[in-house]
Amino acid sequence: MPSAQCEPVTGLVLSGGGARAAYQVGVLAAIAELLPDGAQNPFPVIVGTSAGAINAVGLACGALRFCEAIQSLTRVWQGFRTGQVYRADWSGVVSQALRFIGHSLLGLGKRQPVALLDSGPLRHLLEREMDFSGISAAVRQRHLRAVAVTAFGYESGQAVTFYQGRATIEPWLRHRRLGVPTRLKLEHLLASSAIPLLFAPIKVLREYFGDGAVRQQAPISPALHLGANRVLVIGVSGNPVNGDPNAPVAQPQTGLPPTLAQVGIHLLNSTFIDSLEGDIEQIERLNQIGRLMPDDVRRKVQGLAPVEVLVVSPSRPLDEIAAQYRHELPRSLRLFLRGPGATRASGAGVLSYLLFEPGYCNELIRLGYHDAMQKRAELERFLGLDGQEEMPS
């Protein structure tokens, strides 16, 4: 991690979570509204994982016109349909399910990556919407220091952060995680957002990669390696943050065995949420330890430079919102997911990751906007909009 720097360098961390990433767009829309007219990109370092990687690269591609880039992201998410991300028609769902059973369970056919859902439409969408040349232009004109996406290597077992930025940024190697400089392409985004089993892994160079949230022990760390010393984290946790975090969560006890959807949501939450929340807690503990040490000692110990972290995350449970909009899911997928229990209220957590439909996505955008505005004073202070400090560069 970088040592303390005189000049603040602000990083933006966008976590993963499938359709939940619509929430991030609402927060970003609020930030765009708070910025003065003609303001430059306030986040020199942008880092994303899974669906957050798509949002992160979308911002980086338009970093020269930051507010317009947010408007473009908002437009895409407001008009989302499930069929734009993965095939939701009857023939597509049935043929993919048969292909998955034949290939993965019966061992039939050639050795090629197969998953439960066909994410071919997402490739076409990103090809149409992303202009990767904008990243190089933003870095060259110093509107962007670096942008990074993280993917998980199925053979190496490492969380690999692919980053594009200034030539002065050194690669890094830590336990099961490393940073690799590259020119970001479509394959990096598809790999980072390939949720295991649901979406097929993507080959990058000589290895197949999947969702970067898998085994990503320190989601904030890439932003620090890229030079950030203060970080805005937009999370997609389904747990409200306004109450006591140590208070027990009341759950109805039915005595029934868990459905496949209930098992799946715990696996998804452990992948997308737990590491991020644990990393935030660790940074806060290190900040506390650093404050107890004399300045000369703290400067000599790597990793104790203070890191300011501001978190914006949902104030309402996202699985409850998904349950309200489960009727929007195409009929073919409702039938496909009914058996595992994902269409029941108890399995709505799975839908919260897969429900790429206008009603649900727009509700999350509104929630993100609302939650950001509830933290307006904190965001204005963090971004230097309160007149007390200059905009970070």
72 annotated active-site: no
Measured CA to CA in angstroms, residue 231 lies from 11, 27, 334, 392 at distances of 5, 15, 39, 11
Choose, from 15, 193, 211, 313, the residue flagged as catalytic: 211
Q: Give me the residues paired with residue 11 across strands.
A: 45, 231
193 annotated active-site: no
Angle at 301 between CA 297 and CA 305, to 5 degrees: 90
Give the SS3 label for residue 220. coil
Among 168, 165, 161, CA closest to 136: 165
Measured CA to CA in angstroms, residue 57 lies from 82, 164, 171 at distances of 21, 10, 19
Choose, from 50, 332, 346, 352, the residue flagged as catalytic: 50
* Widest pairwise Cα distance in the chain: 66
Residue type (1 letter), 278:
G
Alpha-carbon distance of 329 to 358, in angstroms, equals 10
Number of other CB atoms surrounding residue 125 within 10 Å? 16
Residue numbers annotated as active site: 50, 211
